[in-house]
Chains A and B, each alone.
Chain A
Amino acid sequence: MRAKVTDRIATLCFYLIAILIIGILAGMIGFILFKGLHVINWDFVTEAPGSVLTGGGGVGPQLFNSFYLLVLTMIITVPLGLGGGIYLAEYAKPGQLTNVLRLSIEVLSSLPSIVVGLFGLMVFVQYTGWGFSLAAGALTLTVFNLPLMVRIVEQALGTVPREQKEASFALGVTHWHTIVKVLLPAALPGILTGTILAAGRVFGEAAALMFTAGMSSPDLDFSNWDITSPVSPLNPFRPASTLAVHIWKINSEGIVPDAKEIASGASALLVIAVLIFNLFARWFGRLIHARLTSTR
C-alpha cells in the first residue's frame, strides 16, 4: 500500500517537472516569437542593416554568416572530433597518456567561452595576421566544440553492443573496417544528436565570436562567388558578425533608432533558424540511418 502511494507521488512529481520544463520552453519561445515575429518579413531576412542614422534594413548578412560559420566550423570540427573519438573509444590503451588526454578534454570543455574567445583573438586573429575573420571564428569555435564532439563520438561508439564488434571480428574483418562499416553506422544516431547540439552552440555563441569573427560585416555582394574577393560572402577571411553577435551588439550599443525592434526580430529569426536546422538535421540523420540499416 505504501509503495503504491510513494509510486503515485513520484509519478506526479515527474509529471510536474516535465510540465514545468515544457512550460518554460513554450513560454520563452512564445515570448520571443510574440515580440519579434511581426518584425520579420522578406526584407528583414534578406537586406543588410540600414545606416546608423536611418535605421531600418534587415539582418540578411548576419543570417547568412551564422549558417556559413556553422558550416565552416563543422567542416573542421566533425573530422577532428570523429578522429579523436574513434581514437579514444577504440585505440587508446589505458595509461598515463590517455589519462592526460582525457583530462585535457575535460578542462578544454569547461573553459568559459569568453576565455576561448580571447585565446582566439591572440592566436587566430593576431598571430596569424588574418584579423577578424570567419576563419578565426571557425577555428575558435572548433577549440570550443571539439572536446564536446570528441566525447560525443566516444560515448556513441561506447554504446554500440560489444556483440556487433565481436561479430565483425569473427568474420575476419579488420579493426578499421569494423569501425567504419559496423560501429560508426550503429553509433550514427548518437553522433548526430551530439553534432546537432554542438552546432546549436555555433548559432548561439556570441562571446567567443566578438573578438574573432568580429562584430561587423562588410558590404557583401551575394552574386560574387570568387572566394578570394573581399566582398564575396564566401570569403573565409572576411569579418563577419553572426546573428547572435548582432543581437548583442544592437542591444548594447543601440545607436540605431529602431534597435529594440531589430533585436526582437533578430532573436525570433535566430530561434526559427535553430528550429529549422534541428528538424532538418534530424530528418537527414534518420534518412541516412535508415539507408545504412535497411529499415525502410
Chain B
Amino acid sequence: MEKLITPFRFQPKTDGRSLLTDETRPIQLETLDLDVYYGEKHAIKQVNLPLYQNTVTALIGPSGCGKSTFLRCLNRMNDMIPGTRVMGKILVEGVNINDSRINVTQLRRQIGMVFQRPNPFAKSIYENIVFAPRLYGISKKEQEKLVEESLRKTGLWDEVKDRLHTSALALSGGQQQRLCIARAIAMKPKIILLDEPASALDPVSTGKIEELVQELKNEFTIAIVTHNMQQAARISDYTAYFYMGELIEHDRTDVLFVNPRKKETEDYLTGRFG
C-alpha cells in the first residue's frame, strides 16, 4: 500500500455528533468528512467515524439511511458502481485509502467483507476458502492448514470436515454464511465488514453468527450493519446511528442504548420513529 503519511493527525470535526474523544483505544480506521454521491443523490453526508481496534462497531438506522453505502466505502466496493463519487478521507494506519493511487485489490485483502445474502462461490467448500489465498501463492500444506483453521474459527469444521470437497451450495444458509466469514478471515484481514450478515438466517444460525462475531473481535476489527437493535446491543462495543446519510450519534453501545444524547436516536431506539 502506498504510504501517504499525513503530516499531522486530523482533528475531526466534533460538532457533538461523532467522536468519542475520550477513547483510549487505538483507532484502526477512521473516516474524515466522508461524502458519497450516487450521481445527484447525496447518500453519505460529512461522516466522521472511527473504528477502534479489536472492537465491534454496530451501524444502525432506518432502511436507506446509508449504512451499506458507508460500509462499502471502507473497502472501496463502491468503485464497482458506476457514477459513484466518494469524497473525504478514509484513514487506515495513517494512509488515506480513498485515493486513486491505492491498490484496491491489496486493500481488500486487508479489509474483508461479508454480505447480507450468503454468496459462496459455486465451488467446493475447500475451494471457497483457498481460492483467493492461492492466487497470492501458498503451498498445498498451508492450504490445508488454512482451511481447517478458518473452518474451526467459524465453528464449521465439525459440521463439514467430511465433505470439504463437495459443493458449498449444498450447505444450509447459516452454514453458507459462516463459510463466507471463514473465507474472509482466511485472507487474514485487519478489518471485517459485515452487512446484515444474519438477516437472511434463522434464529439458531443468527445466534451462531453473533457468537462468532464476539470471538472474532479478538483478532479483527469489526463493523457490522444490523437492523436488529437487540443484536446491536448484544454484540457491539460501539454503535453508530445513521439517519438520511448523516451520522447522528456515535457512542459506546452501553451508553448509547441506555442514555442517548440525541432525541432522534432515542426516538429510533424506542421505536417512536417511522
Contacts and interface: CB of A to CB of B under 8 A. Distances in A.
A294 B187 CA distance: 22
B123 A294 contact: yes
A293 B170 CA distance: 11
B77 A164 contact: no
Contacts of B17: none
B13 to A, nearest CB: 30
B77 A292 contact: no
A253 interface: no
Nearest to B117: A163
Contacts of A295: 166-167, 169
Interface stretch (A143-151, A170-178, A212-220): A170-178
Name, among B117, B121, B183, the residue most crowded by chain A CB atoms within 10 Å (CB to CB): B121
Given A163-B117, A181-B131, A294-B127, A170 B122 contact: no
Nearest to A289: B122
B218 interface: no
B115 interface: yes
Interface residues of B, number: 33
Interface string B115-148: 1010111111001000110010000000000000
B184 interface: yes
B135 A177 contact: yes
A153 B252 CA distance: 51
Given A163-B115, A294-B123, A169 B165 contact: no
B174 interface: no
A170 B167 contact: no
A177 B77 CA distance: 17
Nearest to B125: A294
A164 B119 contact: yes
A182 interface: yes
Interface in B143-189: 165-169, 180, 183-184, 187
Contacts of A7: none
Given A171-B184, A294-B127, A294-B167, A166 B107 contact: no
A167 B131 CA distance: 11
Contact of A170 (B82, B113, B165): B113
B6 interface: no
B122 A172 contact: no
B166 A294 contact: yes
Given A171-B112, A172-B107, A295-B167, A166 B132 contact: no
Contact of A171 (B122, B132, B166, B167): B132
Contacts of A172: 105-110, 132, 187
A185 interface: yes
A294 B124 contact: yes
Contacts of A161: 119
A172 B104 CA distance: 7
A167 B180 contact: yes
B75 interface: yes
B123 A171 contact: no
Secondary structure of the A contact surface, majority rule? helix
B80 interface: yes
Nearest to B133: A171
- Indicate the size class of the contact surface on chain A: 20 to 34
B123 A292 contact: yes
Interface in A207-249: none
Interface in A239-296: 292-295
A155 interface: no
A186 interface: yes
Given A171-B183, A171-B187, A177-B135, A164 B75 contact: no
A166 B131 contact: no
A177 B115 CA distance: 20
B120 to A, nearest CB: 8
Residue with the greatest number of chain B CB neighbours at <10 A, chosen from A170, A182, A185: A170
In this complex, which of B108, B166, B180, B183 has the most chain A Cβ atoms within 10 angstroms of its Cβ?
Answer: B108
B117 to A, nearest CB: 6
Nearest to A293: B122
Interface in A29-75: none
A115 B117 CA distance: 50
A170 B119 CA distance: 11
A287 to B, nearest CB: 15
Contact of A169 (B108, B166, B169): B108
A193 interface: no
B132 A173 contact: yes
Contacts of B107: 172
A170 B77 CA distance: 7
B115 A167 contact: yes
A161 B122 CA distance: 11
Contacts of B113: 170
The 7 closest A-B pairs by CB, nearest first: A294-B124, A172-B109, A163-B119, A172-B108, A171-B132, A170-B113, A167-B119
5 contacts: A166-B115, A166-B119, A168-B121, A169-B80, A181-B131
Interface of B: 75, 77, 80, 82, 105-110, 112-113, 115, 117, 119-124, 127, 131-132, 135, 165-169, 180, 183-184, 187
